[in-house]
Structure 1
Amino acid sequence: MPGTDTLVQFIHTPHARLNRPLLRERAVRYLIDTLAVTVAGSTEPAVATLLDNYATLQMNGTPLPWTARTLSTDDACLVFGTASHVLDYDDVSMLAVCHPSAPIVTALNSLAHLKPMSGAELVDAFIVGTEVLIRTGQAMGFRHYELGFHATATLGALGAAACSARVLGLTAAQTRHALSIAASQSAGLRKNFGSMVKSLHVGLAASHGLQAARLAQAGVEGSHEAFMNGGWLHAYSGGETDRWPDDFQPGNPTAIEETGFEQKRFPCCYMTHKIITAALALKTHHGLTLDTIEQIDVQLCKGGTTPLIHPRPTTGLHAKFSAPYTVLAALADGRVNLASFEEGAVMRPEIQARLDDVRVGEDTAPLAHGNDVGKAPATVTVQTRDGHTLSHTVVASPGSPDDPLSDADLAIKWADCLRHTRPDLTPATTHTLFATGLDLDNVADAGRWLRLETP
């Protein structure tokens, strides 16, 4: 029967067994994407609040890629992690209904200062961290999310502990203790969606995972078996499972290879992305405007509305978790981008007046696994004022391998995100940094790239 030893063994998988072309190609794209959205998110109020009023400045401390100030290791995790997730522009894995890359890249940013690493070592640690994060969540199924946990936060602590254990060179015994310590620091509630705390969860998860590895390295010991037999799996699945699945084999294949991650086209909750895509298609094909529309019906899969807790948003953060707003913004503007979630855009009278005209429903058939959400159709139906009914259904998850961001799409997103915060970087420098990211396996010092320093 698979056990926690299986997880520990995978964390220390030799580089040669992680050196598979598709795995490396996708991993570097996710690293590029995450660094880009982190830099873009660094100007948000939640990040400024932490940086100006909470974080401890430290001479020669951990650097951040948008400021000359350096911080303590833990505070750098909090600030970087919050920035990585505050725009809700970071990637998603529907296998565990989570954002896999943000907490791992956050931990790796601090680790690159504690223990300099090559680009190949960075990619290895990223693969390990995201795989542990996703497979531990997948072991519990969708029930974990239904119970009210923010899976990115709860699973992120374990993934961050895993990548930290690898980078810091922990022994197998120390790695097991690190996972046990991280299991006791695994926390985060969906009730905080639409607030600063949701993005703070990523920073906390990364900090807790890194702390767990450093504590284990220092000699702190946890339970030999913190996951099975009444442990983490039982507690965090609401008693639905108490052991690892019989087919639990992390890395064979990795989640990156099996389904890939969904890279976001829009800076908002991923459960809105199919309906945004459907609304944009309706506008493009039929020339719709809000004035020509009488009623809008949105149909999502069972559980699809769970994170969409703000039907009448009044802030940009709330609007990111609003099905009515995102559909109306798409139909009104023909786009959904960073500007769509500025308060002025959200509070437009012509948008606010139509929020109640959007009806949101769910299918009745239950989903067995989190990944079923990614495969389920989403439909937007519009009743026009002249009596026509127009409908569009989207099945492929936007930004997934079924509807991927091209290299050109990713380059545009990278440049847009960096320009948002770092206008001092020339287009040539921005392009060089993007090309360096694609070639991370051949980069000698990954820390320079994470700091947005050219080779």
Structure 2
Amino acid sequence: MTLSPDDIPSRTAVARRIGDWVAGVRRRDIPEPAAAVALDCIVDTLGVALAGTGDAAARLAADEARASYAAGPSRLLTGGRLCAEGAVFANVAAAHALDFDDNSYAGFVHGSAVVVPTALAMVEVAGGGGSDLLTAVTAGAEAQYALAESVGNGVYHDGWWTTALFGAVGAAAAGAKALRLDGRTTADAIAFALCGTGGMRACFGTGAKPLLAAQAAANGVRAVRLAARGLSVPHGVVEDPRGFARLIATDRFDPAAVEALGRCWRLLDPGIDTKLYPVCLSAHAAIDAVRDLMTERGLTSHDIRSIQCRVPPVVAANLTYGQPATAGEARFSLPFAVACAMLYGTLALEHLDEATLADPLLRQAAGRVSMTADPDWNADPGRARIAPEGAEVSVETITGERLVRFCASARGTAARPLSATEHAAKFRTCAARAIGPDAAEHLHRKLCRIEAEVGLSGLFDPAHHADRS
């Protein structure tokens, strides 16, 4: 039976509350709508991770993992097997390398890129199956998001990179669940992971970003292994005057978010934002607004004199590259993103290459795009809530006409989710870059029925991609 918050004494430390919930939650306790979202997270993350294996940072991580870690039962997406920590380091880097992985506003966290590869590697260690994978992913995601929600998004605005900061917790929770550790041991792992966690947004636009996510996940796995071997850590590391809430969140901490584990499911509210475009989510609303205006008015890039984008401060703080020189910088450039929408009608993986970046037409189009941070954006609580990364776009045509479009939430966000067809198309496009279209199709079918899999060791093997009769 799942241990509910009402069963836990009020004096119980936060890490222990999380650990007891993670240890107690079973597949049957997860509401089917939340399980469906978790399955989408698994499919989407593994698709973008396969595409990400070709990125320079992901290749670096895979090379480092092979050189530094022992062989083991956990699959590298690039081929071969390592111990869980090594596989997690490489696979998480691939999952986040393209910035195409999902996001949640519970902490501004890229939760799945850390949790899904970690759960996969640790379930392989434990010899579990697809149902175990879905349960571990759900447990890791909910634990991570609950803690992030408890300290609020101010942590992100202060400059902490929350994917690395909370990723160690999500990885520790997912790994502990996969190994079926008890509540005390799980709490030890979470507490130890928290004691050493960190990450700064100063890394955005560089290969350090996916590698920090990988490092956080590997640290979470190491915390689980050490706890399983008997490491004991004080469970009050969040509340301690020298602890997480004081040092990281400047005493912004509401334990109610953690106490609600098992009653409130963050996979459902605030939900998961699945990206339609392979760039920072902060650029997506402006892309959608420009695409919609151009479609509705039949405009081409030649019809547009300028585009002005009014955005929240957090968007301007994330999208810091005006004329990006690398694909990494382009993922954090609003002029690049909007220029792609103007010229190509969308922004896809193939646009993040040297040829596109060097194209004079692209650079000229980007020069017609400006961005202004609105310091009063969050003064309206309603707008701050519904449009945390929204955009108001003003298009001036060569005839002098001014067209304005406000986009609160981009396509793919929890407010405007992708259809099942769009989810599937994204997976096939991403996975095909690594394994080819036929294998991608077979793997997609297998992942969509993952709970029927009694073991995961052959999940990515070519011989197992075809459906069984």
TM-score for both structures, normalised by structure 2: 0.90
Following TM superposition, by how much is the alpha carbon of 1:359 offset from its aligned partner in structure 2, in angstroms? 1.8
Following TM superposition, by how much is the alpha carbon of 1:305 offset from its aligned partner in structure 2, in angstroms? 1.8
Matched letter for residue 26 of structure 1: V
397, 407, 426: which one pairs with 2:410?
397
Counterpart-to-counterpart distance in 2, 1:151 and 1:222: 23
Corresponding residue of 2:196: 185
- For each residue in 1:270-316, what CA deviation from the matched residue of structure 2 results, as whole angstroms up to 9, or x when unmatched? 11111111111122122333332222110112422221121221111
Matched letter for residue 392 of structure 1: R
Counterpart-to-counterpart distance in 1, 2:457 and 2:109: 26
After the TM superposition, which segments of 4 or more aligned residues of structure 1 sit over 6 Å from their partners? 367-371
29, 41, 44: which one pairs with 1:18?
29
- For each residue in 1:205-261, what CA deviation from the matched residue of structure 2 results, as whole angstroms up to 9, or x when unmatched? 110111111111111121231111321122111x14255247731231211122320
- For each residue in 1:166-210, what CA deviation from the matched residue of structure 2 results, as whole angstroms up to 9, or x when unmatched? 112222221121111100221111100010010112211110111
Q: 1:98 to 1:59 in 2, by over 3 A?
A: closer
Q: Is the Cα contact below 8 Å between 1:96 and 1:371 reproduced in 2?
A: no
285, 304, 323: which one pairs with 2:315?
304
Pair 1:233-2:274 in alignment: no
441, 445, 448: which one pairs with 2:451?
441
Q: Is the Cα contact below 8 Å between 1:94 and 1:373 reproduced in 2?
A: no
Corresponding residue of 1:418: 431
Alignment of 1:248-397 (within 5 A): 248-363=259-374, 364-366=376-378, 372=385, 374=387, 377-397=390-410
SS of residue paired to 1:94: coil
Q: 1:178 to 1:442 in 2, by over 3 A?
A: same
Q: 1:257 to 1:70 in 2, by over 3 A?
A: same
Report the more deviating stretch, 119-128 or 12-21. 12-21
Matched letter for residue 236 of structure 1: I
Corresponding residue of 2:109: 98
Identity rate of aligned residues, in percent? 24
- For each residue in 1:366-396, what CA deviation from the matched residue of structure 2 results, as whole angstroms up to 9, or x when unmatched? 3779983655642211111211101222123
Report the more deviating stretch, 332-341 or 47-56. 47-56
Following TM superposition, by how much is the alpha carbon of 1:415 offset from its aligned partner in structure 2, in angstroms? 1.1
CA-atom RMSD in angstroms: 2.3
Corresponding residue of 2:233: 222
Matched letter for residue 49 of structure 1: L
Counterpart-to-counterpart distance in 2, 1:195 and 1:343: 15
Q: Unmatched 5+ residue regions in structure 2?
A: 1-9
- For each residue in 1:323-375, what CA deviation from the matched residue of structure 2 results, as whole angstroms up to 9, or x when unmatched? 11101110111111001111211221122234343221233143779983655
431, 434, 450: which one pairs with 2:441?
431
Alignment of 1:83-162 (within 5 A): 83-162=94-173
Corresponding residue of 1:202: 213
Matched letter for residue 391 of structure 2: A
Q: 1:376 to 1:87 in 2, by over 3 A?
A: closer
Q: Is the Cα contact below 8 Å between 1:95 and 1:371 reproduced in 2?
A: no
SS of residue paired to 1:402: coil
TM-score for both structures, normalised by structure 1: 0.92
Q: 1:414 to 1:293 in 2, by over 3 A?
A: same
* Matched residue count: 450
170, 179, 182: which one pairs with 1:168?
179
Counterpart-to-counterpart distance in 1, 2:188 and 2:258: 24
Following TM superposition, by how much is the alpha carbon of 1:77 offset from its aligned partner in structure 2, in angstroms? 1.6
Counterpart-to-counterpart distance in 1, 2:102 and 2:71: 33
Matched letter for residue 48 of structure 1: R
Counterpart-to-counterpart distance in 1, 2:201 and 2:225: 28
Counterpart-to-counterpart distance in 1, 2:383 and 2:13: 22
